[in-house]
Structure 1
Amino acid sequence: MNIQVFNLSLNTENRDLRKLFSAFGLVTTAEVMKDKMSGRSKRNAMIEMPNEKEGRQAIESLDQSLLDGKKISVNEYLIESRW
């Protein structure tokens, strides 16, 4: 399951997200999106969890919670096909 996280603190790192989401199950990817030019956080991230049930539990539990002093938004990332 692909999960998006928004409104991250500039201090939040990949390992912080992996630790947070691992409380709900296996995390295969936890990556803060970075600006290619500056290398600074874009304040959002992508999380991949292979087990859908665990991913949904993480979304329900973490959406609108506080992380590094910021209220984060967590939801499923749906990939829409244009074909």
Structure 2
Amino acid sequence: MARVSSIAQSVRDLAGGQDRFEVEARSVRQLLAELERRHPGLGTHVREHMSIAIDGELHQDAWNEPLAPDAEVVLVPRIVGG
């Protein structure tokens, strides 16, 4: 199972205080669908406001990235500004 974590308060707010999850998924898209199923609104929030690091590598467009069974996934708030 992929291990998912985040330091973002918004993730904890949408997930009833949780900041760590174990998810059975073969891709980031499946992972987000499962997070959305467990915690309505969370998958959408991640898609719209977070970047995703897989095994220490940050991906800007991670939705189709494959996940190894033991992947470490970190949800990182996007930094915006100009």
Q: What TM-score do you get using the length of structure 1 for normalisation?
A: 0.35
Higher strand residue share: 1
Higher helix residue share: 2
Structure with greater Cα Rg: 1
Q: What TM-score do you get using the length of structure 2 for normalisation?
A: 0.36
